[in-house]
């Protein structure tokens, strides 16, 4: 695989976040079983938990590693969460070696593990539970192998808490700020989510999730990523805060990006913690405009999204213009 991303299709594996006949958008507990292939107007997605993204994989992993090296605070592990981090690492390494047997290899002999990733050239022997046998903590080790942001949620006193996370591609939030918060606190600012019961239904769903099933949901927003900027976390606000105003001033709507988060929920078998992984996909409006079914549906949904949700997503000021551009460039 090369790091050249200029001739890559970003629509073929895009997890299109809207149902075929969907006309408008509302928040809901939109979860469904994972590992089920979905065909779209441009390709398909969803067969695997981890989508390496073909040519994009090396580019994303270089970006992930650069950010982690520059800002260690993107990894937050609260006291008592290390066993869950090992659980997370082993779950994903096993899944990867089964899903990508040509390039990912795992050998286990009791607690002794040998991991090889032929694309990133990782070759690591370690002992499960022994942090000194890895170059970093187990969550960081995994985060340097796969493109997903990783969050761990644990139940305490009848509520779910965000107690560990490795997040380099947050869409305008901050892992240092949110780590340690309850599920209800995190979602309190999302308009209508608590009032309409979505937060409590989602929390109940996570609490009751059995260990042998994997679920997923998709979320979306728009961002200005002329250079495919994945890191639009609050930590980096000075770097990207002017991107959208600049793009709007130039009426450069083709360079707006639909930013889709494909999230997977897994209850880990040993610790009982719940993972919440977030894989960020992006495609420009210029790319989306080439696919008639998508162009028309996105334009409709951008126009019909309720004002409070549009404001929360940060798209209220320009969504109608973006919709018009999609239909009549
Ligand atoms: C079924 C489960 C879940 C549902 C239905 C849900 C729903 C939502 C929704 C609707 C938003 C607003 C996003 C937007 O419009 O851009 C949101 C944001 C967010 N959610 Fe969830 N969520 C779920 C699970 C989780 C879990 C397990 C975590 C882990 C801690 C989490 C952490 C967050 C964070 C950090 C944000 C961004 C908050 C911000 O903007 O400050 N969510 N969620």
From the CB of 178, is ligand 1 less than 6 Å away? yes
Whether residue 158 is predicted with pLDDT greater than 60 in this model: the reply is yes
Between 75 and 252, the higher pLDDT residue: 75
Confidence at residue 224, expressed as pLDDT on a 0 to 100 scale: 77
User: What does the pLDDT read at residue 240?
Assistant: 78
Distance 218 CA to ligand 1 centre (A): 10
Instruction: State the average pLDDT over residues 9-16.
Output: 90
Mean pLDDT of 247-251: 88
For 170, residues 6+ apart whose C-beta sits below 8 A from its C-beta are 149, 232, 233, 234
Mutate to test the pocket of ligand 1, among 219, 258, 275, 314 (most ligand atoms within 8 A of CB): 219
Residue 4 has pLDDT above 60, yes or no: no
Which pair of tokens denotes residue 150?
Answer: 């990783």
How many C-alpha atoms does 83 have within 13 Å on its Cβ side?
8
Average pLDDT over residues 124-150: 98
Percentage, residues of the chain above pLDDT 70:
96
Q: How confident is the model at residue 116 (pLDDT cuts 50, 70, 90)?
A: very high
Enter the pTM of the model: 0.94
- Whole-angstrom Cα distance, residue 32 to residue 36? 9
Among 163, 116, 164, 158, smallest CA distance to 140 is for 164
Q: Has residue 49 got a pLDDT over 50?
A: yes
Does residue 7 register a pLDDT over 70?
no
**Model pLDDT for residues 282-302, shown as the tens digit of each residue:** 999 999 999 999 999 999 999
What span, in angstroms and rounded, lies between the C-alpha atoms of 138 and 286?
39
Question: Average pLDDT over the chain, rounded to whole?
Answer: 93
pLDDT at 25 over 50: yes
Q: Report residue 187's pLDDT band, with 50, 70 and 90 as the boundaries.
A: very high
Answer whether residue 327 shows pLDDT above 90.
yes
pLDDT digits (tens, 9 = 90+) for 204-245: 999 999 998 999 999 999 987 656 788 888 888 777 778 888
Listed range (75-84, 166-175, 232-241) with the worst mean pLDDT: 232-241
Q: Ligand 1 within 6 A of 205 CB?
A: yes
Name the more confident of 93 and 23. Answer: 93
pLDDT at 6: 47
Is the pLDDT at 3 greater than 50? The verdict is no
Q: Average pLDDT, stretch 176-186? A: 96
Q: Decide: 138 and 93 in contact? Cβ < 8 Å.
A: no
Nearest CA to ligand 1 atom 15: 313
Residue 276 Cβ contacting ligand 1 at under 6 Å: yes
Residue-level pLDDT at 86? 98
Which residue, among 87, 78, 65, has the nearest Cα to 140 in the 3D structure?
65
* Residue 129 CA to ligand 1 centre (angstroms): 30
Give me the residue spans of the domains in the chain: 32-95+137-327
Output the pLDDT for position 329. 67
Q: Which 3 state secondary structure label does DSSP give 233?
A: coil
CA 322 to ligand 1 centroid distance, Å: 25
Helix (H) or strand (E) holding 245: helix 243-249
């Amino acid at each position: 695989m090369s790091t050249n991303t200029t001739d890559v299709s970003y629509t073929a594996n895009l997890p299109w976040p809207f149902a075929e006949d969907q006309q408008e958008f509302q928040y809901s507990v939109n979860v469904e079983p994972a590992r089920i292939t979905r065909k779209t107007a441009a390709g398909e997605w969803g067969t695997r938990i981890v989508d390496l993204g073909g040519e994009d994989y090396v580019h994303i992993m270089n970006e992930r590693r650069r950010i982690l090296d520059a800002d260690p605070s993107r990894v937050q592990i609260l006291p008592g969460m290390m066993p869950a981090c090992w659980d997370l690492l082993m779950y994903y390494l096993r899944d990867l070696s089964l899903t990508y047997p040509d390039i990912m290899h795992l050998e286990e002999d009791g607690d002794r593990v040998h991991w090889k990733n032929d694309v990133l050239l990782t070759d690591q022997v370690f002992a499960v539970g022994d942090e000194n046998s890895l170059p970093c903590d187990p969550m960081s080790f995994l985060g340097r192998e796969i493109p997903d942001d990783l969050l761990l949620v644990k139940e305490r006193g009848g509520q779910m808490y965000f107690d560990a996370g490795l997040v380099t591609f947050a869409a305008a939030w901050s892992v240092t700020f949110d780590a340690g918060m309850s599920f209800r606190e995190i979602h309190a600012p999302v308009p209508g989510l608590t009032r309409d019961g979505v937060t409590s239904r989602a929390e109940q769903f996570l609490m009751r999730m059995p260990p042998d099933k994997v679920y997923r949901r998709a979320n979306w927003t728009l961002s200005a990523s002329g250079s495919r900027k994945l890191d639009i976390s609050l930590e980096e606000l000075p770097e990207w805060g002017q991107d959208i105003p600049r793009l709007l001033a130039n009426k450069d709507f083709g360079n707006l990006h639909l930013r889709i988060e494909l999230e997977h929920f897994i209850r880990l078998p040993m610790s009982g913690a719940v993972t919440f992984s977030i894989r960020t996909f992006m495609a420009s409006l210029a790319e989306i405009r080439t696919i008639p079914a998508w162009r028309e549906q996105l334009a409709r949904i951008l126009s019909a999204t309720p004002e409070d949700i549009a404001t929360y997503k940060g798209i209220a000021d320009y969504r109608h213009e973006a919709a018009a551009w999609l239909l009549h460039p």
